[in-house]
A = this chain, B = another copy of it.
Amino acid sequence: MRFTSEQHLDGGVLERGFTLGEIPGILWTPASASPSEPVPLVLLGHPPLGLRRMHPRLVARARRCAADGFAAATIELPGSGDRPRWAALEQARADLRRAMEAGEPVGEEIVDALVLPLVDKSVPEWRAALDALLALPGIGGPVGYSGGVISIGVRLAVVEPRIVAAGLFAGSLVPRSVFEEARRVTIPLHVLLQWDDEGNDRQASLDLFDAFGSREKTLHANMGGHTGVPRFAGEDAAGFFARHLRQPQAGPGGR
């Protein structure tokens, strides 16, 4: 991991760009953080639109983390932003666009081709980023995962034991196999659903919430469309992470 830039944002947040091999990423830490008192970490997921485009929204989420005493970090997804084009992903996106423009139902093959390779490739990258981030002085865990492509969040929740709580956004196409994976999730979950999100299959989102194996799982459904998540929903999500990351470890009652 190599830091490539450093910027002090107002409000006492240090933003540092980094690369992990070929993968660009960003780390935000509370300016008050010190090596002697390591802080928890929230991994900020995002849709595959490129870090540059997502930056303003990521900064807002990172600021909230910093205000709660947490570090936050993200990495670029494969085939997005400044990373090399990925022919298979471009093809799957074109197929999705074509089906949607033709008003056709989006078939399972298209969803699988769009999402599963992204999950398979990105999840090991997030885990490698986690290795590097937790090796930094001042970052200690526990670790939460928040937002982004929900299928990536599900896979990470299943395979990465260092992630103790996840906040997921139910607003993307979900392959059939991810519903099966969801049953194996046991960490506390906070799932956000935009009730009137026309681009999202509401029933599929409710089915996915139902499938999660977690003993503590919460669904927050709000109005406002896909991008209109109300401000108070962000507050509630922050409360979820505060509950689960402020203790050194979630007890068995919370799992």
Contact = CB atoms under 8 A, between A and B. Distances in A.
Contacts of A243: 232
A215 B223 contact: yes
A237 to B, nearest CB: 11
B221 A209 contact: yes
Interface in A170-213: 195, 206, 209-210
A222 B191 CA distance: 10
A206 B203 CA distance: 10
Nearest to A235: B239
- Size category, A interface: 20 to 34
Nearest to A215: B223
Number of this chain's copies in the assembly equals 2
Given A232-B239, A236-B236, A239-B236, A218 B222 contact: yes
Interface in A142-163: none
A230 interface: yes
Contact of A195 (B195, B210, B233, B239): B210
A233 B230 CA distance: 18
B223 A220 contact: no
Contacts of A206: 206
A243 to B, nearest CB: 6
A210 B230 CA distance: 17
Contact of A220 (B195, B219, B230): B219
Nearest to A220: B220
A215 B230 CA distance: 11
A240 B236 CA distance: 10
A63 interface: no
Contacts of A210: 195
A244 to B, nearest CB: 10
25 contacts: A195-B209, A195-B210, A195-B217, A195-B219, A206-B206, A209-B221, A214-B223, A216-B223, A217-B222, A217-B223, A218-B220, A218-B221, A218-B222, A218-B223, A218-B230, A218-B233, A219-B220, A219-B221, A219-B222, A220-B220, A221-B221, A232-B239, A235-B239, A236-B236, A236-B239
Given A195-B210, A218-B222, 8 more contacts: A195-B209, A195-B217, A195-B219, A217-B222, A218-B220, A218-B221, A218-B232, A221-B221
